[in-house]
Amino acid sequence: MEIYSFKIQSIKGEEFDFSTLKGKKILIVNVASECGFTKQYAQLQELYEQFAGQLEIIGIPCNDFGGQEPGAKEEIVNFCRVNYGVTFSITEKVGIKHNMHPIYLWLTDAVNNNGIKQEVTWNFCKFLVNEEGLIEAFLPSNVEPLDEQILTWLS
């Protein structure tokens, strides 16, 4: 199974179909508005603009880690737009530790992902998905979006 078989609701309630991302690299990040890593939104936006057309960034809000994304949809959208000028895709708020969303069941399952099995441990963990729809790497929260590991992967 590859990522292209998944669909998720956007933060605005529209269906987001991962099959539309075929041929692009995808960076999936579980995001939160009240986290010490929230400032990474700025670098995520910069990365998105720098690699437009080559990279899709999918921010997936989650309140499972420290209750740091308590806001409703409208609050999340407004926070991202006003504070960080976010134009990359933001999805509905999902569960990761509790009532895990199917996309995270897939992302964390080594059988589907070239032997990569990584538990999401906090907000702003990153999955790097290649143009074939397979996970190439997992990066923890403290790896910033403009880190050399990500820039090298995009080159």
Q: Which domains does the chain have, with CATH numbers?
A: 3-154 (3.40.30.10)
Q: Taking a C-beta distance cutoff of 8 angstroms, is the pair 38, 95 a contact?
A: no
**Cα–Cα distance measured from residue 124 to residue 1, given in angstroms and rounded to the nearest whole number:** 24
Q: Residue range 22-44: average pLDDT? A: 96
The pLDDT, as a whole number, for residue 105 is: 92
Looking at the DSSP bridge assignments, the partners of residue 126 are 29, 139
Query: Three-state SS for 64?
Result: coil
Which position among 35, 62, 80, 125 bears the catalytic label? Answer: 35
The rounded percent of the chain whose pLDDT value lies above 90 is 86
Is 80 a known active-site residue?
Answer: no
